[in-house]
C-alpha cells in the first residue's frame, strides 16, 4: 500500500522531473498578508508572484503546503467529524506555472499522474469546467479523450441550488480565471450527486484536484483584460488523494489518520475506533501542533483564539470519552512520527509544542467539568434554544468559546441564541476592558513563549520540502 508519505514524495518527484522547482511549505501564518488569518491554500505564498510584485528564480514550482481552514474566510471546522473529506488542517499538493505553461500541460500532467502514475481507473474520474471555457473543454474531450458526459459545465453559482463555482478570483480586482476540478466517484454505495447538481454536497463524488487557470486581470469596472503571461495554480488534497489510492472512502481511514485515531483511542480508553470524537481529536491535534510550530499561542483574540477554540473542542471530546487527565499533548509524538520527516520544523519544536498544549489543557481542566454540568442544567430547561446570556456565562466563567457551546448544542439538537450572546458580549466589553489578561501566551512560562516565537526565515535553499532536498 502507498502511504501518505509515499504519495507526498511521489507528487513532488513527478513535477520535479518535469522541471518544477521543489519549494517548501510556507508557515500557516501568512508572512505577506496581514488581512489573511491563515494560509488556506497553496497559492498564498505565491500571491505576490502572481501580482507581479515579486520575482522568483523559477517559473515552474511544486510544493506541499500545510493549510488551515478554521476561522477566517474558509472555515471547515464545523464539517470535521461529519463529512468524509474535510479537515481543519490538511496538506495541499500543488504545481505552479508563473507565466510558463498553461491549460494544455496542466491538464495533461494531472491526468497522466492520476491515471498512469497512480493507475486510477479513468472511468471513476469526472471533471468540471467553467461553462464558457471552450479551451479547457477541447483539451479534456479531444486531447485526453474524456467522454462529454463526464465534463460538467459550471457557471458562477449565481442563485444556483448548489455551491460550485468554477471562476476563481483573488480579490474584487486583479488576477482571476476559470478553474477545472477533478472528482473521484466513490460509487453508488455512497449518498451524493455529481458536481453541479443539488446533491453535490454528499460524499459520493469527491473533489480531489482543483486546477486554476489565471488568465485575466479584472479591472475596477468589472471588465476582464487578458494577462500578458497566464499562470497555473493547482491544489490537490493529500488526504483525499490518499483515501482514493488506499481504496478507502473517508480521509479518516487512511494510514495517517488510522494511526492518529488508534493513539487517541489508547489515550482515551475508547474501544470503538469509529467514534466521532476520535476523528475530531485526530484532526485537531494536527492543526494545533502546526499552529504552535508556526508561532501561534493560545490567547483570547485573533489567531491565538482560533487555536484556543480548536484545543478546547478537542478537550471537550476527550472529556466526553471520559478523560479527566491531560491527554491531548501526548498525541504530538504520533504527529511527529508521521509527519516530522516532511516537516523538520515540527520535529525541532516537538517538546515545546507538548508543553504549550499541556499548559492549555491544565488551564481548561479547571472549568471544563463544571462548565459541562452547567451546560446540562441549561439544556434541561432550555426548551430547544440555549439563551444568549447563558452561552455568555459559559464563555465568561467557564472558558467555553461560543463555537464550543454551539458544537455541543448541535450534537443534542439544540440551537444557541447567537444574537443574545453577541449582545451580552458587547455589554461586557463596554464595562470592562481587560487588557494584559488577553495577551498571546498569557499564563505560559516566559521561556516557553520566548522559544516559540516564529522562526526566522532561513531562505529557501536552507530548507527541505516533503522530505526532498529543495532544488530552488
Ligand atoms: P470542497 O468543495 O470539497 O469543500 P474546495 O473546493 O473548498 O473543496 P479548494 O479550495 O478547491 O477546495 O482546495 C483545493 C483542494 O484541497 C480540494 O480539491 C481538496 O482536495 C482539498 N481540500 C479543500 N478543503 C479541504 C479540507 N477542509 N480538508 C481536506 N482537504 C481539503
Ligand atoms: Mg470547501
Ligand atoms: Mg469545491
Ligand atoms: Mg475547489
How does pLDDT run across 239-273, given as a tens digit for each residue? 999 999 999 999 999 999 999 999 999 999 999 99
User: Residue 464: its pLDDT value, please?
Assistant: 46
* Cell digits of residue 296: 501561534
Average pLDDT over residues 265-289: 98
Task: Give CA separation, 341 vs 28, 250, 335, 336, 460, in Å.
Answer: 18, 24, 10, 8, 17
Rounded Cα distance, 239 and 85, in Å: 8
pLDDT digits (tens, 9 = 90+) for 129-182: 999 999 999 999 999 999 999 999 998 765 554 556 899 887 788 889 999 999
Rounded Cα distance, 471 and 419, in Å: 52
Write the DSSP symbol of residue 331: G
Report the nearest atom of ligand 1 relative to the CA of 74.
7
Rounded Cα distance, 110 and 148, in Å: 18
* Cell digits of residue 316: 471537550
User: Residue 459: its pLDDT value, please?
Assistant: 36
Q: How far is CA 195 from the centre of its chain?
A: 21
User: Residue 160: its pLDDT value, please?
Assistant: 55
Ligand 3 mean position to 183 CA, how many Å?
Answer: 10
Higher pLDDT, 362 or 435: 362
**Vertex 16, ends 11 and 19: CA angle to 5°?**
140
Task: Give CA separation, 467 vs 50, 245, 290, 343, 457, in Å.
Answer: 27, 20, 17, 8, 19
User: Residue 457: its pLDDT value, please?
Assistant: 35
Ligand 1 mean position to 183 CA, how many Å?
Answer: 11
Evaluate whether 89 touches 287 at the Cβ level (below 8 Å). yes
* Cell digits of residue 265: 483511542
The pLDDT mean for the chain works out to 90
User: Residue 470: its pLDDT value, please?
Assistant: 44
Closest among 284, 294, 322, 289 to 403, alpha carbons compared: 284
> Helix 388-398 crosses helix 344-380 at what angle (to 10 degrees)?
130
User: Residue 462: its pLDDT value, please?
Assistant: 37
pLDDT digits (tens, 9 = 90+) for 442-454: 667 777 777 776 5
Q: Which residues pair with 90 in a beta bridge?
A: 67
C-beta of 66 in contact with ligand 1 (< 6 A): no
The CA-based dihedral angle spanning residues 110, 1, 201, 280, taken in that order and rounded to the nearest 10 degrees: -130
User: Residue 278: its pLDDT value, please?
Assistant: 98
Q: Is residue 407 very low, low, confident or very high in pLDDT (cuts 50, 70, 90)?
A: very high
pLDDT at 364 over 60: yes
Q: Whose CA is nearest to atom 4 of ligand 1?
A: 86
Rounded Cα distance, 440 and 463, in Å: 28
Q: Which residues pair with 415 in a beta bridge?
A: 385
User: Residue 440: its pLDDT value, please?
Assistant: 54
Q: Whose CA is nearest to atom 30 of ligand 1?
A: 237
Q: Is residue 441 very low, low, confident or very high in pLDDT (cuts 50, 70, 90)?
A: low
Average pLDDT over residues 410-416: 95
Neighbours of ion ligand 3 (CB under 5 A): 207
pLDDT at 201 over 80: yes
pLDDT at 77 over 80: yes
168: number of Cβ within 10 Å? 18
453-460, long-range: CB within 8 Å, 24+ apart, which pairs?
453/295, 454/27, 454/29, 454/294, 454/295, 455/295, 455/345, 457/31, 460/23, 460/24
pLDDT at 439 over 50: no
Report the nearest atom of ligand 1 relative to the CA of 88.
27
User: Residue 442: its pLDDT value, please?
Assistant: 60
Write the DSSP symbol of residue 437: G
Rounded Cα distance, 92 and 236, in Å: 5
C-beta of 240 in contact with ligand 1 (< 6 A): yes
99: number of Cβ within 10 Å? 16
Longest alpha-carbon distance in the chain: 67
Q: Which residues pair with 64 in a beta bridge?
A: 93
Helix (H) or strand (E) holding 177: strand 174-185
Residue 216 dihedral angles phi and psi, to the nearest 5°: -125, 160
Higher pLDDT, 103 or 35: 103
Q: Is residue 455 very low, low, confident or very high in pLDDT (cuts 50, 70, 90)?
A: very low
Evaluate whether 251 touches 242 at the Cβ level (below 8 Å). yes
Ligand 4 mean position to 237 CA, how many Å?
Answer: 10
Average pLDDT over residues 114-143: 97
Q: Whose CA is nearest to atom 3 of ligand 1?
A: 207
Q: Whose CA is nearest to atom 9 of ligand 1?
A: 210
pTM of the complete model: 0.91
User: Residue 275: its pLDDT value, please?
Assistant: 97
Evaluate whether 44 touches 74 at the Cβ level (below 8 Å). no
Q: Which of the residue ranges 88-97, 115-124, 218-227, 362-371 would you say has the lowest mean pLDDT?
A: 218-227
Q: Is residue 56 very low, low, confident or very high in pLDDT (cuts 50, 70, 90)?
A: very high
Neighbours of ion ligand 4 (CB under 5 A): 210
C-beta of 403 in contact with ligand 1 (< 6 A): no
User: Residue 453: its pLDDT value, please?
Assistant: 63
Model ipTM?
A: 0.99
Write the DSSP symbol of residue 114: I
C-beta of 286 in contact with ligand 1 (< 6 A): no
Amino acid at each position: 500500500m502507498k502511504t501518505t508519505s509515499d504519495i507526498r514524495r511521489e507528487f513532488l518527484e513527478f513535477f520535479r522531473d518535469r522541471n518544477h522547482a521543489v519549494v517548501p511549505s510556507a508557515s500557516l501564518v501568512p508572512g505577506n498578508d496581514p488581512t489573511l488569518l491563515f494560509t488556506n491554500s497553496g497559492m498564498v505564498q505565491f500571491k505576490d508572484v502572481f501580482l507581479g510584485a515579486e520575482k522568483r528564480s523559477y517559473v515552474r514550482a511544486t510544493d506541499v503546503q500545510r493549510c488551515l481552514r478554521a476561522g477566517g474566510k474558509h472555515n471547515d471546522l464545523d464539517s470535521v467529524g461529519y463529512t468524509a473529506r474535510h479537515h481543519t488542517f490538511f496538506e495541499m499538493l500543488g504545481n505552479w506555472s508563473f507565466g510558463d505553461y498553461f491549460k494544455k500541460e496542466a491538464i495533461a500532467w494531472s491526468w497522466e499522474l492520476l491515471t498512469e502514475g497512480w493507475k486510477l481507473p479513468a472511468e471513476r474520474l469526472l471533471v468540471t469546467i467553467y461553462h464558457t471555457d471552450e479551451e479547457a473543454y477541447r483539451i479534456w474531450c479531444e486531447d485526453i479523450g474524456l467522454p462529454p458526459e463526464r465534463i460538467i459545465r459550471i457557471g458562477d453559482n449565481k442563485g444556483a441550488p448548489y455551491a460550485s463555482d468554477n471562476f476563481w478570483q483573488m480579490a474584487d480586482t486583479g488576477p482571476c480565471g476559470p478553474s477545472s476540478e477533478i472528482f473521484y466517484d466513490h460509487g453508488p454505495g455512497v449518498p451524493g450527486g455529481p458536481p453541479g447538481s443539488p446533491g453535490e454536497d454528499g460524499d459520493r463524488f469527491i473533489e480531489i484536484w482543483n486546477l486554476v487557470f489565471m488568465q485575466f486581470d479584472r479591472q475596477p469596472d468589472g471588465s476582464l483584460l487578458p494577462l500578458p503571461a497566464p499562470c497555473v495554480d493547482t491544489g490537490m488534497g493529500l488526504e483525499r488523494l490518499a483515501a482514493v489510492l488506499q481504496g478507502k472512502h473517508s480521509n479518516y481511514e487512511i494510514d495517517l489518520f488510522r494511526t492518529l485515531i488508534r493513539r487517541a483511542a489508547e489515550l482515551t480508553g475508547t474501544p470503538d475506533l469509529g467514534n466521532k470524537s476520535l476523528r475530531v481529536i485526530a484532526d485537531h491535534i494536527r492543526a494545533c501542533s502546526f499552529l504552535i510550530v508556526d508561532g501561534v499561542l493560545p490567547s483570547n483574540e485573533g489567531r491565538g483564539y482560533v487555536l484556543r477554540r480548536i484545543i478546547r473542542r478537542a478537550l471537550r471530546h476527550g472529556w466526553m470519552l471520559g478523560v479527566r487527565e491531560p491527554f491531548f499533548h501526548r498525541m504530538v509524538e504520533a504527529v511527529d512520527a508521521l509527519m516530522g520527516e516532511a516537516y523538520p520544523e515540527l520535529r525541532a519544536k516537538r517538546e515545546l509544542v507538548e508543553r504549550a498544549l499541556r499548559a492549555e489543557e491544565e488551564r481548561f481542566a479547571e472549568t471544563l467539568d463544571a462548565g459541562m454540568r452547567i451546560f446540562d442544567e441549561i439544556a434541561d430547561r432550555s426548551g430547544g434554544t440555549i439563551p444568549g446570556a447563558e452561552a455568555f456565562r459559559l464563555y465568561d466563567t467557564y472558558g467555553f468559546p461560543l463555537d464550543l457551546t454551539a458544537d455541543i448544542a448541535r450534537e443534542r439538537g439544540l440551537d444557541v441564541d447567537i444574537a443574545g450572546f453577541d449582545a451580552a458580549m458587547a455589554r461586557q466589553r463596554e464595562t470592562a476592558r481587560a487588557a494584559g489578561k488577553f495577551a498571546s501566551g498569557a499564563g505560559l512560562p516566559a521561556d516557553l513563549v520566548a522559544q516559540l516565537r516564529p522562526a526566522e526565515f532561513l531562505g529557501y535553499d536552507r530548507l527541505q520540502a516533503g522530505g526532498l532536498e529543495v532544488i530552488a
